[in-house]
A and B are shown apart, each in its own frame.
Chain A
Amino acid sequence: MSPVFTTLDKPLNQTGGREQLSWLGRIDPRARILAALAFAITIVACDSFPVLIGGVLMALLLLVNSRLPARRTLKRMATMDSFILFILVLLPFTVPGEPMFTVMGLTASWEGLWQAVEIGLKANAVILALMALVGTMEPVTLGHALHGLKVPETLVHLLMFTVRYIDVLREEYLRLRQAMKARGFRPATSWHSYRSFGYLVGMMLVRSMERSERILGAMKCRGFTGRITLLDRHAYGARDAVFAAGIALLLVSLVIAEVSLGAV
C-alpha cells in the first residue's frame, strides 16, 4: 500500500533521509512557500489573457523543474477541473453580453465564456505552481517551514500529528474494510450499507481516540512537558536568494504586462 502523500518518490540517502532530486527541491522550503503565495496572489489579481497564459506557462515550467510525475499531477488537476466544470459551463449562459449562440432558448454570451476561461486559467496555474513548489516537500518539512514562517506552534504541531497518523489510520480503515468484505459486505445504495459505513467511521474515531491516549502516555513517559522542540534548522543561502529574486522578477514582469495591457 502506498502512503497517501507520495507526490514524488525520492531515494533514501545513507542516513535514511529523503534526497531531493531537483534543484527546486533543494531550495529553502520557506522561500518556496512564500513564492507559491506570491504567485497565487499575483495571478488572481491579473485579468488579461496573455498574462494568465504566461502564468500557466510559468507554472508548467515549475512543474517540469520539480520533477513531479507530470501525468499524475495533470490528472489530479483534471479531477479538480471536473469539480468546477459545471460552474464554468453555466457562466456563458448567466453573464449578459454579446450573444454567441442559443441552445433551447438560452443565450450564451462571449463575455461569460471569457470569464469562465479566465477562472479556469487562474485556478489551474495556481494549483500547479502550489503542487510544484510546496507539494514536493515532505509533509514534515512543510510543518518545519511553516514554523519558520512564524505560524503558531500549536497549529504546526497539529499539522505534524495529522500527517504522521493519516497513513496509520488509512491502514486501519483498509483493515476494517477488509474485515467487512470478508463478512460479505458489498457497498450499495441501501440503509444497511450506510449504517455499516457509519459504524465504520464511528469505530475509526473510537480507535483513534484510544490510540491518542496511548501516545500521550508514551510521550509523558519520555518526559513530555508540554513543549515539542522542532529540530530542523533551515539555512537561507545564496541559492535561495537567487531563486527568490528570479521568482520576483517573473512576477513583476507579469504585473507590468498586466498594467500595460490594461492601459491599451
Chain B
Amino acid sequence: MHIVDGALSNPVVIGGAVLAVGGLAQGLRHLPMEKIPVAGMLSAAFFVASLIHVPIGPSSVHLVLNGLAGLVLGWAAFPALFVGLLLQAVFFGFGGLTVLGVNTVIIAGPAVLVGLALGRRIQTASLKGAAVWGAIGGALAIALTTLFVALALTLTGDEFIPAARLVFLAHIPVMAIEALLTGAAVYLAKQVKPELFDNIAGART
C-alpha cells in the first residue's frame, strides 16, 4: 500500500521523513561494508518477491513480505526496504517523493518491529515452531502496516477515517496470505539454510 504525494498533511509528511531518517541511520549502523553484499542481495530478493502476484479468488494481490524481511534482516530491513521503495517510486512511479519517508516507515517500521520481537524465537524454535512464528510475524507485519497507513491518514484529517477503515478491512485476506507464505518460506529456509535467520545485521545491539 503506497501513499501518494499531496494526500497527507505537512506535519505527517515531515514526521514520517524524520522517523525514516532515524530508522535509516540506525539500520546503517548495523551494516558494516562486509555485510553489504548479503544485505543488497536480500534487498533485491525482496524487491523481486514484491513483483510476484498470487491469486486470491478471481483477483490477485502482490506480495509485500515485510515480515519475512524483518525476520531475516533485522534492523538492516529498514535501509533495504527503503532502497526498494526508492526504486519503485523513481522507475515504476509507485508512491511518491515527499511521502517516501512516510512510506518507508509504513513498510519498514513493521518489518523491524517483527524482526526484533520474533527473530530470536525463530532462531531457537523447532522447525514447525519456527514456521508458526513465521506465519504470526507475516500476518503481524501486514496488520501493523495497515495500522500505520490508517494512522497517517487519520492524523491528516477526519475525512480520511472511512478510507483508513476500508484499507484495514481490505487487507485482512492479504494478512492471511502473507502469514501462510511467510510460514512456508521460514519452514523451507530454516531446513535448508538455518544461518539465514542468524540476523545478518548481527547481534551488535
Q: Are A198 and B182 in contact (CB under 8 A)?
A: yes
Map CB proximity to B onto A68-97 as digits: 1 under 8 Å, 0 otherwise. 000001001101100110110011011100
Q: Is the CB–CB distance between B2 and A83 below 8 Å?
A: yes
Q: Are B37 and A216 in contact (CB under 8 A)?
A: yes
Contacts of A216 in B (CB 8 A): 34, 37-38
State how many residues of chain B have any CB contact under 8 Å with chain A.
77
**Interface range on chain A (Cβ under 8 Å from partner):** 35 or more
Q: How far is the CB of B150 from chain A (nearest CB, A)?
A: 12
Q: How far is the CA of A3 from the CA of B186 in the complex (A)?
A: 29
Distance of A80 Cα from B92 Cα, bound (Å): 9
A227 adjacent to chain B (CB < 8 Å): yes
With known contacts A90-B162, A166-B44, A187-B54, A158–B196 Cβ distance under 8 A: no
User: Distance in Å from the Cβ of B192 to the closest Cβ of chain A?
Assistant: 5
CB distance from A104 to the nearest CB of B (A): 14
Main secondary structure of the interface of B (DSSP, over half): helix
Measured CA separation A5–B4 after assembly (Å): 21
> Could you mark each residue 16-42 of chain A with 1 if its beta carbon is under 8 Å from any beta carbon of chain B, else 0?
000000000000000000001100110
Report yes or no: A226 in contact with B97, Cβ–Cβ below 8 A: no
Contact, CB under 8 Å: A166 / B83: no
A residues within 8 A CB of B1? 83
CB <8 Å contact, B98 and A126: yes
Determine if B13 is an interface residue (Cβ-Cβ < 8 Å): yes
Chain A residues with CB under 8 A of B68: 201, 205
A135 adjacent to B93 (CB under 8 Å): yes
Name the distance in Å between B172's Cβ and chain A's nearest Cβ. Answer: 15
Further 11 A-B residue pairs, CB within 8 A, beyond A40-B97, A163-B44: A118-B6, A122-B5, A134-B90, A135-B90, A155-B83, A173-B48, A191-B180, A194-B177, A197-B63, A198-B187, A212-B42
